[in-house]
Amino acid sequence: MSVLHKRFCASHPDVKISQSTFALLKPFWVKKPCIQDRDTCLCKLHENTRLLHEKLRHIKLIPNCSVADVVRHTVCNRELTNRSCMTNSCTHCKNRNLPFSTSHSLADHTISWHQWQTVRVDVDDRKQVRKTAKQTVRGSVNSLKASYVSAVSLLKPHMYTISNQYNVITAKRHNLSDKEVMIHIDFSENWTKKAATAVQSAHFGSSLEQITLHTGVAYFSHDRHMSFCSLSDSNDHRPTAIWSHLIPVLISVREKYDDVNILHVVSDGPTTQYRNRYNFYLCTVIPQLFQFRFTWWNFTEAGHGKGPADGVGAAIKRLADRCVLAGEDIADASSLKCALERLTDVKLFLVKDVVTLSDHMNIPAFPGTMKIHQLLASSTGRVSYRPWSCYCCATRMCTCIKTQTVNVGHIDKSGVTLRLPSFEMNTPVCSQTEETSVTDENISAPNFTEFCTGTAMNTADVQYIILHDSLDIINCLPTHLNTELFSETSCTYCFCFFGI
C-alpha cells in the first residue's frame, strides 16, 4: 500500500493525501491476493507456449497479441474448427510462417526463459524420482524461435481436441434418448481423515490416513440428473478399483431407470486409471452384466478434464470439514458416509474391493492408447476406438474419423471376479446402532441362487457362484439384474455376493 501511495503522489503532485487516508479510500472490491487465487491446475503445453510467447513479446520479436491470435494466423479457418488445419495436414496452411519480426538485433545473443519440465532427481544412491519443476532455459534467440514454432505446432491439434471433445460431449448430453445415460466421473483428491481433537503425533507419517472419493454426475433424458459420490478406505485408483466404484452407480441407475441400456462415460485420461487396456477390457465385461448393450467412453484432452465431478468432490469435502468443525470424528469411509448423508442430496455409496482381475490375463495392447479419446465396447469383446469423439451413429462408430479395432472376446473371463455388495443401498450406515461381525454364526448370506444352475460355495459372509460352460445366469442375480449375456458362452465366471 505504501508503494502504491508513493506512485499516486508522484503522478498527482497537486493532490495532498496521507497514506492512512489513502488506505481508507480503497474500493471494497480491491483485496489482498490469497494463496488460493493462484492458477495451479494449468495445462503444461498451454503454459509452456505462453511462457515462450511472453518472452518473444518482451524482446519485441513478435507482435503484441495472444497465443490464440498467432494460431489463427497459421490456419485457414479463423474459428479454429477445421480438423485438417488444426492437425497440420492442410496443404494450404501447414507451412505458413509465424509472424516474427524480420529486423532484430539480438539474433545471436544468449537469452534465458522459463519452461515447465519433468526432470529426474536422485533421492538416494540407488533411486531416482521424476519431478515437474519450472526450469530456466538458456539459448540463442533462434533457438527460442524454434522452440516456439514447435510448441505452436503441438498446440494446434491440442486446441482442436479440447474444442471437439467439449462440443461433442455437450451436444450428446443435451440430446440423450430415454434409453441412454451419461456419467461424468473423476477421482477427487483424497480426503484426509480428521478428528475434532487430536494429539500432535496424529498429524505425521502413517497416521495421516485418507479416504478415496470417486465423484460424478449421471445425466438422463429430459434434463434429469443424479450427483453421486462413492467412498472407500482403499486408496487404489486402478481399473479394478474404478469399476468397484462404478458398479453401485450402475445398479442404482438400473433400479431407477430400467429402460436405459446404452452407457456413456466421460472422464479425463490418465493412463494409470481410465485410459489403459485393462479398463478397455472391463468395459466389454461389466456393463453387460447390468443389461447395457453398448458402452461409449469419451476422454477429455490432457490438462483439460475439469468438470462437474470436481464440483461434487469439492462440495463433499467442504461438508466433511464442517462436520469435523462441529465436533464429529471421521475415522473411516463408513463414518464419513454417516455424517454426510443427512446433509446432502448427493447419492453416497460405501465401496469395498468389488472387482478383482487375475494377474495372468493376457490382454492385448491397444496401439495408440495415448491418442484415444473415444471408444465403443460391446459384449462380444469388440473394442473400437479413435482419436476424437463423434456421435453420428448411436450404436456404432461412424466413418467420419478413422477407427481402429481390437477384439478381446477370446480372453477367458474366469479371471474377472465380482463381489457385489448388499443391494439394500438405501439403508443408512448410521442407522446401524451396532456393527455386526461378518463371522457371526447367526448371519447367513441371502440366497440369490436357490434356482441357479451352477456350483455355489458358501461361507459365513460370502456366497460364491461359479457358472460353468454355457450355464444360464438369469436366476443367479436379483430380478433387476437379470441378463442373458453369457448364456451362449463357454467360459467359467465367478460372481460373489456379500451377505452383509
- Give mean pLDDT, residues 470-489: 37
Inter-residue contact 313 to 402 (CB < 8 Å): no
β-bridge mates for residue 116, sequence order: 134
Nearest to 483 by CA among 295, 296, 292, 355: 292
β 180-192/128-140 pair status: unpaired
Nearest to 301 by CA among 169, 133, 153, 132: 169
Inter-residue contact 422 to 355 (CB < 8 Å): no
Q: One-letter amino acid identity for 419?
A: R
- Give mean pLDDT, residues 47-56: 95
Q: One-letter amino acid identity for 132?
A: T
Q: Which residues contact 186 (CB under 8 A, 6 or more apart)?
A: 214, 215, 216, 267, 268, 305, 307, 309, 310, 313
pLDDT at 475 over 70: no
Q: Worst-scoring range by mean pLDDT, 10-14, 15-19, 150-154, 419-423?
A: 419-423
Place of cell 464440483: 311
Give domain limits for the chain. 2-32, 44-164, 178-414
pLDDT at 371 over 60: yes
pLDDT digits (tens, 9 = 90+) for 152-186: 999 999 999 999 999 999 999 999 999 999 999 99
* Angle at CA of residue 484, ends 479 and 488, nearest 5°: 155
Q: Worst-scoring range by mean pLDDT, 204-213, 340-349, 351-360?
A: 351-360
Look up residue 264 and give its three cell numbers: 456413456
**What are the two backbone dihedrals, phi and then psi, of residue 30, each rounded to the nearest 5 degrees?**
-90, 115
For residue 259, count CB atoms less than 10 angstroms from its CB and return exposed for 0-12, middle for 13-18, buried for 19 or more.
Answer: exposed
pLDDT digits (tens, 9 = 90+) for 375-398: 999 988 999 999 999 998 877 899
β 262-267/294-299 pair status: parallel
CA within 13 Å, CB half, 455? 8
User: At 67, is the pLDDT very low, low, confident or very high (cuts 50, 70, 90)?
Assistant: very high
Compute the chain's Rg from CA coordinates: 28
Q: One-letter amino acid identity for 393?
A: C
Please give the pLDDT value at position 335. 94
Look up residue 437 and give its three cell numbers: 461381525
Question: What's the rounded Cα separation, in Å, for the pair 399 and 385?
Answer: 12
Q: Worst-scoring range by mean pLDDT, 145-149, 174-178, 244-248, 429-433?
A: 429-433
The pTM of the full predicted model, rounded to 2 decimals, is: 0.80
Residue 246 — left, alpha, or beta (φ > 0 → left; ψ -120 to 50 → alpha)?
Answer: alpha
Q: Which of 147-156, 190-199, 427-436, 438-447 has the highest mean pLDDT?
A: 147-156
pLDDT digits (tens, 9 = 90+) for 248-288: 999 999 888 889 999 999 999 999 999 999 999 999 999 98
User: At 360, is the pLDDT very low, low, confident or very high (cuts 50, 70, 90)?
Assistant: confident
pLDDT at 494 over 50: no
For residue 353, count CB atoms less than 10 angstroms from its CB and return exposed for 0-12, middle for 13-18, buried for 19 or more.
Answer: middle
Q: Worst-scoring range by mean pLDDT, 78-82, 104-108, 231-235, 266-270?
A: 104-108
Nearest to 70 by CA among 47, 104, 99, 46: 99
- What angle, 0 to 180 degrees and rounded to 10, lies between the N-to-C axes of helices 141-174 and 44-58? 140
Please give the pLDDT value at position 435. 38
Q: Which residues contact 26 (CB under 8 A, 6 or more apart)?
A: 1
